[in-house]
Structure 1
């Protein structure tokens, strides 16, 4: 029985290490590709920026930041040409995972002035818009 407990502990430690390394990877990749900003900073600058929601269309339709446009991460590379390089880019998703990935793609393609909403849409308390269901 003690052999089982040792293996269980080893598996739990491996899982915790995996999530820790994954978090660190996204944290540093995000810091390298974009500036993480608070909700207040996002609200202050969003009128002079391209606000892009990288969630899927159904999530966007269910509710999004007022004034945002939807470019799902799954089609981001194909749609990137529609994003201006001379205007700041404000990205968000539910947390920050997809935003970090999108910011990394943008940076690799020569975009600068990329910002990510710190806690994502889940924590957004500003104005939102929801698509009316008919």
Structure 2
């Protein structure tokens, strides 16, 4: 599903704008994580929710890299290094922190953290879109 999202994502982003695309992708992911939290015991629903989340996630990183690259000049290199460093930090720290949250509270609790992160991305992308307009 992520390949399908990537194949059509650039064309959609060119039509609706990069930040709008990022906001929509994060909203799709937030909705699918909410379904995971509420319907976690139903395997077919979980598989569909994870598939939809993959579709939403397919264009998040490329959109963030494109936004960093549009910074222009030397600041583009700095922005790209910041985005890349944050991405690697998330890859290294995310699973451990989510596992700790799941151990202390529950798996649903760790999914709530993911849900809040997607909501924050969606709101942030909307505010950036307003500033850029």
Q: Name the TM-score, length of structure 2 as normaliser.
A: 0.25
Tell me which of the two structures has the higher relative contact order, counting C-alpha pairs closer than 8 angstroms and 6 or more residues apart.
2
Question: Which structure is higher in strand share?
Answer: 1
Larger radius of gyration: 1
Greater share of helix: 2
